[in-house]
Amino acid sequence: MNQTLIQEILEVVEQAAIASAKLTGLGQKDEADAAAVEAMRLRMGKIEMKGKIVIGEGERDEAPMLYIGEEVGSGSGPGVDFAVDPCEGTNLCANNQRGSMAVLAASDTGGLFNAPDFYMNKLAAPPAAKGKVDIRNSATENLRILSDCLGLSIDELTVVVMDRTRHKDLIKEIRGCGAKVQPISDGDVQAAIACGFAGTGTHCLMGIGAAPEGVISAAAMRALGGHFQGQLVYDPAIAQTSEWADYTKEGNIKRLNEMGITDIDKIY
């Protein structure tokens, strides 16, 4: 991707951030999201590219703009795939709390995993622990590895976990090892990215959040040289979300298969 294109894509997220920033703290999450979406799409339209949204605001019938499959840009020029989250953490934005961001990942055509709107178990860690920690390990084992890689004792480590009932046992295990847990209400993209920088005080992200956000976090961590792994979650008993009140494990597996995902336990 050439520098001019990258610069223009940066302006896309800048415009989205500026638009939604005007609505921070007003308790208007949908309006903040809509403002960011509109700004993002407007700026994208001015870029000479054959752009396509692969992760976006939803399916065509439920999202007027930046829907999955939407073509963006001038229609000629390089092919670019986008995963967008114009206002990631809309609740945070509406409540003027930290961690909300305008964010997108871009790649040459075909470079991004078209993650379904499922949940994803995630593990993010700093560059020093890349390829050393593993999502297949227990939290206890990963904390031990992290401690070795970072040269910190376990009680100096801070792990961000989304504050959800599904993480009750995970939080207990992490605290049982002596590490600090920072529960967050929303915004696990910010938490994953924080692992990629020294000095943020975040050493690890563990637990289950949304899959599309996982792809964006993975792209950021690749750029930062950090560790990121994700595994789709399809069992409602594990996700423990009201969103899936009417879903069954078998039904979800069928949905994944219909989307062309047959290796449902793949670790990305």
What are the residues binding ligand VTB (CB under 6 A)?
A: 88-89, 164, 186-189, 209-210, 213, 241, 243
Give residues with Cβ within 8 angstroms of 122, minimum separation 6. Answer: 135, 188, 192, 205, 206, 207, 208, 209, 214, 217, 228, 229, 230
Minimum Å gap between C-beta 50 and ligand VTB is 28
The residue among 38 and 188 lying less far from ligand VTB, judged by its C-beta, is 188
CA 228 – CA 215 distance, rounded (Å): 10
CA 85 – CA 190 distance, rounded (Å): 12
The residue among 49 and 210 lying less far from ligand VTB, judged by its C-beta, is 210
- How far from the centroid of its chain's Cα atoms is residue 224's Cα? 15
Minimum Å gap between C-beta 185 and ligand VTB is 7
The residue among 70 and 88 lying less far from ligand VTB, judged by its C-beta, is 88
Minimum Å gap between C-beta 155 and ligand VTB is 27
The residue among 49 and 239 lying less far from ligand VTB, judged by its C-beta, is 239
The residue among 26 and 238 lying less far from ligand VTB, judged by its C-beta, is 238
Task: Report the DSSP pairing between strands 180-184 and 227-233.
Answer: unpaired
Asked if residues 81 and 112 have their Cβ atoms less than 8 Å apart, the reply is yes
Minimum Å gap between C-beta 37 and ligand VTB is 14
The residue among 185 and 248 lying less far from ligand VTB, judged by its C-beta, is 185
Minimum Å gap between C-beta 187 and ligand VTB is 5
Give residues with Cβ within 8 angstroms of 260, minimum separation 6. Answer: none
Minimum Å gap between C-beta 136 and ligand VTB is 21
